[in-house]
Chains A and B, each alone.
Chain A
Amino acid sequence: MPQNSKGIDVAAIIPDRCIGCQICAGECPVGAIEMSGGVAHIDPEVCIGCGKCFEVCPVEAVSFEPKRPQETPQRIPGVPEDRFSEYRGVAVFIEVTHGQAAPVSWELAGKARELSRRLGTVAIALIAGHELKDVATEALEYGCDEVHVIDDALLGSYLSRLYGKAVTDLTNTVKPEILLMGATALGRDLASVVATNVETGLTADCTGLDIDEEKRLLLMTRPAFGGNIMATIFCENHRPQMSTVRPGVFRPGERKAGRTGAVHHYPFAPPVGEMPEILEFVRDNTGETGLDIGRFPALVVVGKGACDPESMPMIQELADLIGGVVACSRPVVEAGLMPYERQVGQTGKTVAPKLYFAIGVSGAVQHLVGMQGSRRIVAINSDPHAPIFGISDTGLIGDYRDVVPLVIKGLREAVSKR
């Protein structure tokens, strides 16, 4: 254990573990920690050996020997144990456009039901919109125990301030201990507004949710640093614990007709001031739209290595054969050959089909984070060292122009034998 000139046992940073999160620098009571070159440095002469940095470091990058046995994490002084007793239930915001709920909402309804059972509480649906038809009933059928609705003509289309106000009001009224939203364009926009209004923690774009039952904490896992690293995040001292979750990560809740529950309606108190006005909706002009690749049981995914327009009919034939659609990697979108909504990956969609059939996709980490949950991954690539083979269940090395026709032929035969 290093000592400084005053004979104090000081803490030191292990540079190759440090992730530069700066948490220690913020906690150090004497300002001994500076950031440099992306990692923390402790000035041994300033350090008083209190061990605060050691306690708060999320990645064990501080070497320090605590004098006393480490205390269990303390509660904030003056805050009673049951300070969150008025919060209850695991809530899901049901995203509705044109009277129809986004598939991710039902995925989260299923998850909310599961989590709520583990916590011994209820699953709750929060709905804001207009002309909501049967969405409330559907929410009950998908596993929510109760539904809270604001239905108002002002909520006909999504505007941040209006929806932000409606969902903030619902949250303040219902007081769920957990609130989940889909990490869609709308969900991410809205979740930030609500979390800021109710001043709570929000973890974006999660790909995993778990519960610490004892502390009633939601453990939210998300990719960080462009997908190279996963981080598990929690929110201990604020409620609700909020998270947006990628579409396609969880299976939709099981829908059971006839499930019932309480449905509460509330009037809308719109915010004051002039709201923006939506002048026009333009469909993505690079292709037919509204297509959600996340809904298909099979995807044929073309990468830069298989994206010449002449081969598209062949690729399409394969997709038709296996009951799926064609999706792609980012360079294919950049080349203008496919619309953005077909892109899989970090900046595209997260998908988890039953069969993921990659052709000419190298398997970059930003692509992989969007498809790792697929049930069966198969890949065709001309490069034996393509990283995609490292995560595929079956691989085929070859020029796709040669092998795809054979694959189609072989599959047809296999099917006709059934």
Chain B
Amino acid sequence: MNFVCCIKQVPDTAEVKIDPETNTLMRSGVESISNPYDLVALETALILRDKYGGWVTALSMGPPQAEQVLKEAISLGADAAVLLSDRAFAGADTLATSYTLYKAIRNLDLDRPVDIVLCGKQAIDGDTAQVGPGIATRLGFTQFTSVVEIRELNTYDRHITVKRRVEGGFEIVRGPLPTVITVDLGLARPRRASLPGLILSLRAVIDRWDADAVGAEVPKIGLKGSPTWVRRIFSPPLKEGGPVFDGRKDPVPAVERFLDTIVADEELISELFKNPGV
């Protein structure tokens, strides 16, 4: 089995805020990390490789520093890593990103046919969940999004059975390889790097491919290949808080005043209490 795992380097998002005074971005101390969903994808690939044999290639598109996430992948047990880095890739939206990754996977596929591509369900900075399906559609592979469990991988008849999250529950679905799977956080718990793994990753040479190397058509990559543009960035409008009543010492009057403000909203009350006593 030949696995490819797509990993994105993302800022540790909870830290990014807009300074309300100056309306500029505060990114003090924002670290770059591997997208947590992608680490689950990698773990899944490693588990499957260890069980069925094969080869795991970690793939990332980003600036030269994104090499870091690939070194991490090697330290965790990936067999090879490729960084897609080229100035021409910069500014890519999901359409251009999935195209670039697709071209790279096709390249890998020529070398050694790819059976399973694993991606995180989404990236914590973009949250779009669009790249995985985009890759699957371009490759013409079977697509399973939001996978929470691999039920069975049959390497003889080349089918995979997965459990995936759908509205209102889960679905058990079986389909032919090759496939693109996007994984939910619950699928696996990423391991920690071993010491030999860490040492290996320090010495590892990460292949670097540019637009030429993946054979990408220039109008389809980076900013030029991206239909969507950002027009404006702003802080979410926060409304002002209303009155707060302190009921710690003397709850009864506080609750009374609290309820008064709610009950005063006639329209609300008449809508909610259409059938009093229900």
Contact = CB atoms under 8 A, between A and B. Distances in A.
B93 to A, nearest CB: 7
Given A161-B143, A395-B243, A418-B273, A35 B63 contact: yes
B133 A389 contact: no
B128 A199 contact: no
Contacts, number: 338
A219 interface: yes
B174 A202 contact: no
Given A36-B63, A284-B170, 8 more contacts: A21-B230, A201-B228, A235-B227, A277-B173, A281-B170, A341-B168, A354-B272, A396-B255
Contacts of B192: none
A279 B124 contact: no
Interface stretch (A79-87, A225-233, A304-312): A225-233
B51 interface: no
Interface residues of B, number: 104
Nearest to B227: A201
B204 interface: no
Interface stretch (B39-47, B74-82, B84-92, B193-201): B84-92
A29 B188 CA distance: 44
A232 B30 CA distance: 23
B27 A23 contact: no
Interface in B206-249: 222-224, 226-236, 238-248
Interface of chain A, main secondary structure = mixed
A161 B142 CA distance: 8
A392 B172 CA distance: 41
A117 interface: no
What are the nearest 7 A-B pairs in CB distance? A276-B175, A201-B227, A395-B244, A192-B133, A26-B90, A398-B247, A26-B91
A134 interface: no
Interface string A95-138: 00100001000000000000000000000000000000000000
Contacts of B133: 160, 189, 192-193, 196
B27 A16 contact: yes
Interface stretch (A140-148, A248-256, A257-265, A407-415): A407-415
Given A26-B87, A203-B228, A354-B268, A391 B245 contact: no
Contacts of B110: none
A185 B166 contact: yes
Contacts of A274: 175-176
B202 interface: no
Size bracket of the A interface? 35 or more
Contacts of B241: 389-392, 395
B138 interface: yes
A33 B222 CA distance: 15
A23 to B, nearest CB: 4
Interface of B: 11, 13-14, 16-19, 24-27, 30, 32, 63, 65, 87-95, 98, 124-130, 132-134, 136-138, 140, 142-146, 161, 163, 165-176, 222-224, 226-236, 238-248, 251-252, 254-256, 258-259, 261-263, 265, 268-269, 271-278
A192 B235 CA distance: 27
Interface string A210-231: 0000000001000111111111
Interface of chain B, main secondary structure = mixed
Interface centre among A27, A186, A228 (most CB of B within 10 A): A228
Interface in A363-418: 365-366, 368-369, 372, 375-376, 378, 382, 384, 389-399, 402-403, 406-407, 410-411, 414-416, 418
A278 B251 CA distance: 55
A58 B230 CA distance: 6
B125 A225 contact: yes
Contacts of B11: 20, 38, 225
A200 B255 CA distance: 54
B24 A205 contact: no
Contacts of A21: 91, 230
Contacts of B140: 273
A270 to B, nearest CB: 14
